[in-house]
Structure 1
Amino acid sequence: MKIVLEHLTKRFPNKNRKIKEEVIAVDDFTHEIPDGKLIGLLGPSGCGKSTVLNLISGLEKPTEGKIYFGDDDVTDLPPENRGVGLVFQNYALYPHLTVKENIRFPLENLRGKDKLTKDQMDSKVREVAKLVQIENLLDRKPGEMSGGQQQRVAIARALVKKPRVLLLDEPLSNLDARLRLQTREELKRIQLETGITTIFVTHDQEEAMSICDSLVVMEKGHIMQHGAPQDVYDQPEDLFVAKFLGTPQINVFKGEIRDDALFIGKDRIMELNEENLGESRKVYVAVRPEGFVAVTDDGQGQVKNENCLHCDFRKMEVMGRDTSIICTHEAFEGTVVRAIIPSETRPRFIGGEVSFYIKPSKVHVFDAVTEDVIRGITDGE
């Protein structure tokens, strides 16, 4: 089921009665979600992603704008008539009912031509329980199950009516790290098997990038960028998106384009082609942690200085396959620079300084005023 959102806006009254200005949770949100895809709504707390989900489900009514499921305008349609399955962060299971009874509950409320016999309901329950791999837990109650098992029950309950759209509101937030990894893999498997258009709301960018076909990055009710996860990561359109995606976070420096080169502070890190130069200007230079190449000495205790970033070494964290080098730089916009390099290439340090070459494909340059990306400066742009 294709979903089309046209100029959605949602305003709420301000809780502070002394302030008449309304709070804008979603602001002119327009996006098309293709049929059968798993889309991630990603952003920090308060960015409006859950409000968008509530508007799609019908739990909230838009102040302005339209919502279409296929060719059907569902903007004013009640939630129960939209054909959506909704999975909440806290599972919302009935503790006094068994797993079987929890999953069957939505079917018991069907009326008229949609009403099912007991045998038909039991058949649907078994079918969906097998899909989420809890068919041997149907007689248990929620309190007798792990968090991951409870989440599967919640997903089964959402799927049992064969919804046109599946909505997941931070469904993995209450799970520990191992269960989160396992459950997100299961979510992707279930979505692929059912082919249901699915919208997944999360603030965890690693989670979203791992299972979603497409990402919509939000801030203050706006779409900041959308596209395939790797494309958004590799080609952020502004500094907010660059900083939001990636663990550890991207390293941001004050920089400048001048004298045919890109500078970070006093360090000339990259020569630029004539067609990329333009006029000299102040910029932000953002480097992914994996974009550093540690410079080794020349065998005589000297480090080559051309096109290098020179940092003050603080400490080194060996993490098995990779090593994280923690250092500082006078032009860094933050506390410490974090560079991740393969453990086998760990350099020996000369004094208190460590130097790096920068991989052009991992460098993003943003205008210092607008914070929009400047295209064509590096190979990664």
Structure 2
Amino acid sequence: MKIVLEHLTKKFPNRNKKIKEYVIAVNDFDYEIPDGKLVGLLGPSGCGKSTVLNLISGLEKPTQGKIYFGDDDVTELPAENRGVGLVFQNYALYPHLNVRENIRFPLENLRGKDKLTRDEMDRKVFETAKLVQIEGLLDRKPSEMSGGQQQRVAIARALVKKPKVLLLDEPLSNLDARLRLQTREELKRIQVETGITTIFVTHDQEEAMSICDTIVVMQDGRIMQQGNPQDVYDKPDNLFVAKFLGTPQINVFKGVVRAGSVFIGTDRVYRMEEDLGDRDVYVGIRPEGFIPDDSWNGRSEASDDKERLICEFRKLEVMGRDSSVLCANEFFEGTMIRAIVASGTGIKTPGGEVAFTIKPNKIHIFDAKTGKVLH
């Protein structure tokens, strides 16, 4: 089921009654979700991603704009008639019912031509439980299950009516790290097997990038960038997206473009092929973009012909496969630069300094005024 959102806007009255201006939660949101794809709405708290989900489900009505399921305008259609499955952060299971009864509950409310016999309901319950791999737990109560198992019950309950669209609102937030990893892999498997168009809301960018076909990064109710997760990570459109995606976060420096080269302070870090003109910029360098410069022997050896960034060495953190080099630079927009290198890499720190060359595909240049990407 393709979903088309046309210029969606949602305004809420301000909680401060003295302020007459409305709070705009979703601002001219225009997007098409392809049939059978898993799309992630990603952004910080308050960016409007859950409101978009509520508009699609029918729990909220848009102030402006249209919502289409396929070719059908469902903007005014009640939530119960949209054929949508919802899974929330809290599992919302009935504690007095066992797993079988929890999953079967939506089927018992069907009426008219959709009404099912007991045998038909039991067959659908078992098929759905098998899909999420809890068919052996049908007689357990929620209190007898782990958080990951309870979340699978909630997913099964959403799937049992064969919804046209599956909406997931922070479904993994209550799980510990290991369960979260396992469950997100299961979510992707279930989505592929069912082919249901799925919208996944999360603030966890690693979660979204790992399982979504497409991610939509939001800020203040607007789309900042959308596309294949790796493409968005590798080619951010603006400084906000670059900062939001990536763990650890991208390192951002104040810099300048001068005579076709990018400088951080007096250090030439990159030579540009295109002419951007002389200007102030922000220089973003991904943590994995730093290469320790083995030829560095201190500032007395520095040369304007060599592209390198010199920082004050602070600490080396060994994390198994990788190590983090923590260092400082007066032009850094933060507290501590974090460079990720392979464990065992030699780090030379003459005079308490460390020098890096930068991988060309891991450096991003942004306009200092607008934040838009220049390179």
Q: Shorter-chain TM-score: which interval? A: over 0.9
Percent of residue pairs bearing the same amino acid type: 74
Q: 2:276 aligns with which of 275, 278, 285?
A: 278
- Per-residue CA deviation, residues 267-295 of structure 1 (Å, 9 max, x unaligned), is 1112223xx12320000000000000001
- Per-residue CA deviation, residues 27-47 of structure 1 (Å, 9 max, x unaligned), is 000000000000000000000
Distance in 1 of aligned mates of 2:299 and 2:242: 36
* Unmatched tracts of structure 2, length 5 or more: none
Distance 1:360 1:43, change over 3 A: same
User: Is 1:8 matched with 2:8?
Assistant: yes
Distance in 1 of aligned mates of 2:72 and 2:347: 61
Distance in 2 of aligned mates of 1:374 and 1:242: 13
User: Is 1:183 matched with 2:177?
Assistant: no
Distance 1:64 1:263, change over 3 A: same
State the partner residue of 1:293.
291
State the partner residue of 1:234.
234
Between 341-350 and 161-170, report the one with greater CA deviation: 341-350
Q: CA deviation at 1:199?
A: 0.2
Between 131-140 and 262-271, report the one with greater CA deviation: 262-271
Alignment of 1:116-127 (within 5 A): 116-127=116-127
Distance in 2 of aligned mates of 1:152 and 1:190: 11
Distance 1:264 1:88, change over 3 A: same
Task: Name the amino acid aligned to 1:116.
Answer: L
**Any conservation in 2 of the 1:34–1:197 contact (CA below 8 Å)?**
yes
- Per-residue CA deviation, residues 87-107 of structure 1 (Å, 9 max, x unaligned), is 010011111110000000000
**Any conservation in 2 of the 1:297–1:304 contact (CA below 8 Å)?**
no
3-state SS in 1 of match to 2:256: strand
**Any conservation in 1 of the 2:298–2:350 contact (CA below 8 Å)?**
no
Distance in 2 of aligned mates of 1:326 and 1:244: 20
Distance in 1 of aligned mates of 2:128 and 2:178: 24
State the partner residue of 2:26.
26
Q: CA deviation at 1:297?
A: 3.5
Q: CA deviation at 1:346?
A: 2.8
State the partner residue of 2:40.
40
Alignment of 1:134-173 (within 5 A): 134-173=134-173
**Any conservation in 2 of the 1:41–1:200 contact (CA below 8 Å)?**
yes
**Any conservation in 1 of the 2:323–2:343 contact (CA below 8 Å)?**
yes
State the partner residue of 1:371.
371
Distance in 1 of aligned mates of 2:276 and 2:241: 25
State the partner residue of 1:244.
244
Task: Name the amino acid aligned to 2:196.
Answer: I
Please give the root-mean-square deviation of Cα atoms over the aligned residues, in Å: 1.3
State the partner residue of 1:378.
none
User: Is 1:133 matched with 2:148?
Assistant: no
**Any conservation in 2 of the 1:297–1:303 contact (CA below 8 Å)?**
no
3-state SS in 2 of match to 1:156: helix
**Any conservation in 1 of the 2:260–2:277 contact (CA below 8 Å)?**
no
Distance 1:176 1:140, change over 3 A: same
Distance in 2 of aligned mates of 1:298 and 1:103: 64
* Unmatched tracts of structure 1, length 5 or more: 376-381
Q: CA deviation at 1:345?
A: 1.9
Q: CA deviation at 1:331?
A: 0.5
**Any conservation in 2 of the 1:294–1:356 contact (CA below 8 Å)?**
yes
State the partner residue of 1:379.
none
Q: Which of structure 1's runs of 4+ aligned residues deviate more than 4 A?
A: 298-305
Give the alignment's TM-score, normalised by structure 2.
Answer: 0.98
Distance 1:299 1:310, change over 3 A: closer
Distance in 2 of aligned mates of 1:222 and 1:270: 33
Q: CA deviation at 1:321?
A: 1.1
Distance in 2 of aligned mates of 1:107 and 1:319: 50
State the partner residue of 1:174.
174
Distance 1:299 1:53, change over 3 A: closer
Alignment of 1:56-75 (within 5 A): 56-75=56-75
Distance in 1 of aligned mates of 2:192 and 2:290: 37
Distance 1:300 1:172, change over 3 A: closer
State the partner residue of 2:320.
320
- Per-residue CA deviation, residues 54-73 of structure 1 (Å, 9 max, x unaligned), is 00000000000000000000
**Any conservation in 1 of the 2:296–2:355 contact (CA below 8 Å)?**
no
**Any conservation in 2 of the 1:295–1:303 contact (CA below 8 Å)?**
no
Alignment of 1:295-314 (within 5 A): 295-297=293-295, 305=303, 306-314=306-314
**Any conservation in 2 of the 1:3–1:33 contact (CA below 8 Å)?**
yes
User: Is 1:338 matched with 2:335?
Assistant: no
Distance in 2 of aligned mates of 1:272 and 1:122: 65
3-state SS in 1 of match to 2:350: coil
Distance 1:279 1:137, change over 3 A: same
**Count of equivalent residues:** 373
Q: CA deviation at 1:343?
A: 1.3
Task: Name the amino acid aligned to 2:294.
Answer: T
3-state SS in 1 of match to 2:226: strand
Task: Name the amino acid aligned to 2:31.
Answer: H
**Any conservation in 2 of the 1:254–1:264 contact (CA below 8 Å)?**
yes
3-state SS in 2 of match to 1:14: coil
Task: Name the amino acid aligned to 1:259.
Answer: A
Task: Name the amino acid aligned to 2:151.
Answer: Q
